[in-house]
């Protein structure tokens, strides 16, 4: 477009094209040496269009690269058992998670242990893991391999309460109940939950 500007462009089309590519490259990379600039109105308009196009293209590239690199587990919103039907689910064999999925007739991939299941999750081989929440919370907070990389659904699929089995006539029944009630009402209990599980 600036062929008439003889002081900056040479007489051959190939050289002029090469100069145009050079100018476009230094403009797009924001180096902008100023050794080649358009002088005609058409060249300046084309230059402005090229600059804004390059800004938009670089922004889109950066956004897409960032989204791919920072892809987190939170991208798949799983809050209910119905959400599990359209995704690839993992569970540890012989666990309460596996029992739950079998009972609800939800297809899943079986793993030997929780580490194998979480590794598959972080490597995008599965979309989620159904497991005990305290175990996942602990690993997410304390294990370097998973540190703060796991998102835990806010709605638990099933609450499991644990208990201590004693004989009906055991003299320990009432003292244990009293100690447990006292323990969970103290601030130490809340501090322990936060320290180990992040709650």
CATH of the domain at 128: 3.40.190.10
Whether residue 4 is contained in a domain is answered as: no
- Residue 119 β-bridge partners: none
- HSE-CB of 60 using CA atoms within 13 angstroms: 6
For residues 78 and 155, membership in a common domain is answered with yes
Q: What tokens appear for 107 in the block?
A: 């297809």
pLDDT digits (tens, 9 = 90+) for 66-81: 776 665 544 557 777 8
Residue 113 token pair: 């242990």
The whole model's pTM is what? 0.50
Residue range(s) defining the domain that contains residue 154: 73-160
> How many independent structural domains does the chain possess?
3
Check residues 38 and 11 and name the one with the higher pLDDT. Answer: 38
Residue 165 has a pLDDT of 84
Mean pLDDT of 25-38: 64
8 A C-beta contact, residue 79 and residue 89? no
Query: How far apart (Å, rounded) are the C-alpha atoms in residues 199 and 190?
Result: 8
In a domain, 54, yes or no: yes
Cα–Cα dist 36/49, whole Å: 17
pLDDT at 134 over 80: yes
Provide the CA 41 distance to its chain's centre, in angstroms: 48
Element (H, E) at 177: helix 173-185
């Amino acid at each position: 477009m600036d062929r008439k500007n003889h002081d900056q462009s040479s007489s051959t089309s190939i050289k002029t094209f090469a100069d145009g590519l050079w100018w476009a490259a230094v403009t797009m990379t924001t180096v902008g040496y100023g050794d080649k600039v358009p002088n005609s109105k058409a060249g300046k308009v084309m230059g402005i269009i090229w600059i804004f196009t390059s800004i938009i293209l670089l922004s889109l590239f950066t956004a897409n690269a960032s989204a791919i690199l920072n892809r987190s587990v939170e991208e798949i919103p799983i809050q209910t058992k119905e959400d599990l039907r359209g995704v690839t689910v993992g569970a540890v064999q012989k666990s309460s998670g596996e029992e739950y999925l079998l009972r609800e007739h939800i297809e899943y991939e079986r793993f030997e242990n929780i580490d194998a299941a979480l590794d598959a999750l972080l490597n995008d081989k599965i979309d989620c893991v159904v497991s005990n929440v305290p175990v996942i919370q602990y690993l997410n907070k304390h294990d370097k391999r998973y540190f703060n990389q796991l998102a835990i659904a806010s709605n638990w699929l099933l609450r499991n309460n644990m208990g201590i089995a004693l004989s009906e006539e055991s003299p320990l029944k009432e003292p244990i109940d009293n100690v447990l009630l006292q323990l969970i009402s103290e601030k130490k209990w809340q501090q322990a939950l936060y320290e180990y599980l992040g709650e």
